[in-house]
Amino acid sequence: MEPLVTLHVHDGVATLRIDRPPLNALNEQLLDRLRALAAEVDRRADVGAVVLTGGPKVFAAGADIKEIAARSYAEMADAVQHLQDGFSSIARIRVPVVAAIAGYALGGGCELALCADHRVAASNAQLGLPEILLGVIPGGGGTQRLARLIGPARAKQLIFSGRMLDAAEALELDLVDEVVAPERLEAHAHAWADRLARGPRHALRAAKEAIDRGLDTDLETGLAIERARFATLFATEDRTIGMESFAEHGLGKARFVGG
């Protein structure tokens, strides 16, 4: 039986790898596996950051069209909820998530990458939301997450046209954060995740929650969320370590323990 998605944890970094060759098409079984592993990662005390990847050749080429083409309206109404829940399980992981994107990240693959906190693309990456060319729209969160990331005007241009972007244009539009050579992709993404995993985990979780929840509300409510998360960090061991290290050695020298 295909593993579909694998999980490997080493030195505080969890690697979630989509493994459904040849194109990592996203079917229901894969989404179930992704959601289960995301929940496991979120529970584990030994995970401080996550790398999400499809491997060196393709991130994910989108939904399994053969699986969904014959579905009725009623069937698809349930299936699209399942799709969104699978992707949102990645977005809801409390520690930082770094996406390592090689080759195609189209449709659902692009939507999945949008759920990460930091996106590193190989120079051979191709990203896009081509659903309009099939007579539908993105259904895995693309209309919402893309607009929040790059702004509504640019999101509409990409979604209305359905065109693909190479890595350089994706970087220019802020769809990805970095572009590296294909042979450096996973090492670079893991270096990013390793730095984050060694940071103050409670503070990183608080920062992610404050930003993500604040984007979905008004400024005053967002500030209230920030105040609450800020205050709770004064009950953590890492806050004490960080401030004592600053007083003794200056900024950036603290060795956090995750407590």
Name the catalytic one among 2, 131, 220, 248: 131
Q: Is 178 a catalytic residue?
A: no
DSSP letters, 123-184, are: TT-EEE-GGGGGTS---SSHHHHHHHHH-HHHHHHHHHH--EEEHHHHHHTTSSSEEE-GGG
Among 48, 153, 150, 60, smallest CA distance to 99 is for 60
Contact partners, residue 34, CB within 8 Å, separation at least 6: 4, 5, 16, 18, 86, 89, 90
Q: Is 111 a catalytic residue?
A: yes
What is Dmax (Cα atoms) for the chain?
66
Parallel, antiparallel or unpaired: strands 118-122 and 164-166: unpaired
Name the catalytic one among 2, 28, 67, 111: 111
The catalytic residue positions are 111, 131
